[in-house]
Amino acid sequence: MTLEKVSIREMQRAGKQELPVEENYEFEDLPTKGPVYTVALVELDSTGLTVSGRFHATVEEPCDRCYEPYEREIRESFEEDFVFNHYIEADRPGEVELNEEDFYEVIDPEGELDLKDLIRQLIVMGMQQDRLCSRETCDIPA
């Protein structure tokens, strides 16, 4: 079974601070070819969690210039910080102010970290770069 969502509550109950994940995710809704190999480490602390790792995806999309489909590799490292929502909502004068619009994402400590969806978002961001194939014929206007 593929581990797609990490239960924060279960990690806390089990007294686990770290959870290594190594999975091959299949995305039906992205132009990925084959599974996306993902290695990640989820680290919990009292205020939130950090997930770091890397993934390797092969995508096939039309080139922006010649419109021919071409394949390319997206390999990226990532590190994302999440803060438990009660640290954001609670009114705690004197403590560090965290704003939801900052680069921290907010997560429910009773909820789950959707790791597969995080990888999906990173692939989508990666797909917005290098959108031109490097075929010799690419420069020739059709």
Binding of Zn ion by 133 (CB under 5 A): yes
C-beta of residue 114 within 8 angstroms of C-beta of residue 23: no
Contacting range for Zn ion; rule: CB under 5 A; set: 4-12, 25-33, 89-97, 129-137 = 129-137
CB of 63 to Zn ion, least distance (A): 3
**H helices within the chain, ranges in order?**
8-13, 85-89, 115-127
CB of 129 to Zn ion, least distance (A): 15
Binding of Zn ion by 106 (CB under 5 A): no
Structure-block tokens of residue 27: 């995305």
Nearer to Zn ion, 22 or 68 (CB): 68
| 105-107 and 69-84 beta bridge pairing | parallel
x/- site string to Zn ion, residues 56 to 85, per CB under 5 A?
A: -------x-xx-------------------
Binding of Zn ion by 3 (CB under 5 A): no
Cβ partners under 8 Å of residue 72, min gap 6:
58, 59, 60, 61, 130
Count of residues of this chain found to bind Zn ion when the rule CB under 5 A is applied: 5
Nearer to Zn ion, 3 or 66 (CB): 66
- Give exposure, 41-77, as e/b (b: 16+ Cβ within 10 Å): ebbbeeebbebebebebbbeeebeebeeebebebeee
Nearer to Zn ion, 66 or 127 (CB): 66
Contact residues: Zn ion, CB under 5 A: 63, 65-66, 133, 138
